Amino acid sequence: MTTSRHSHLDETFSALADPTRRAILARLARGEAPVGELAKPFVISLPAISRHLRVLERARLIERRVDAQWRVCRLRPQRLRAAADWLDDYRRFWEDSLDRLAEVLEEPTSERTRK
C-alpha cells in the first residue's frame, strides 16, 4: 500500500470521526442538497456547518458547486469505497480467524489434546 493511499485513508477516517459530518454524508447519500438544507437538523451555526463541509471537501468526500444563489453539495463516493475496501480486508481476516477458532473449539477435547 502506498503512502498516498494511506494519506487518503487518514483524511477519510479523520473526516468520518465526527458525528455531524457522518450525518451530513448520510443525508447526501439520498441526493445532493443546498448548504441551508444540510444545516437544518443541527443546532450549530451556519459557519460551523461550513467548517464541517470544508473538512468533507478536503477529504474529497463531497463536492460543492454554485447554482444561482445556492451552494449545492453532493457526495463523492469514491473515497468512501476505498475506505470500505480497506475495512473489508480486515473484516475477512477476522472472519477467517474466528471461523478457524470455532472449528478448534468444536473439536472434541480428545482430538485437541492429541494435536
pLDDT at res. 110: 62
Rounded Cα–Cα distance for residues 27 and 14 (Å):
19
Q: Is the pLDDT of residue 67 over 70?
A: yes
CB proximity list for 75: less than 8 A, separation 6 or greater: 25, 28, 29, 32, 61, 62
Domains and CATH numbers, the chain: 3-114 (1.10.10.10)
**AA letter at 86:** W
pLDDT at res. 20: 97
Segment among 16-20, 65-69, 79-83, 111-115 with least mean pLDDT: 111-115
Is pTM beyond 0.85? Reply is no
Mean pLDDT of 68-81: 91
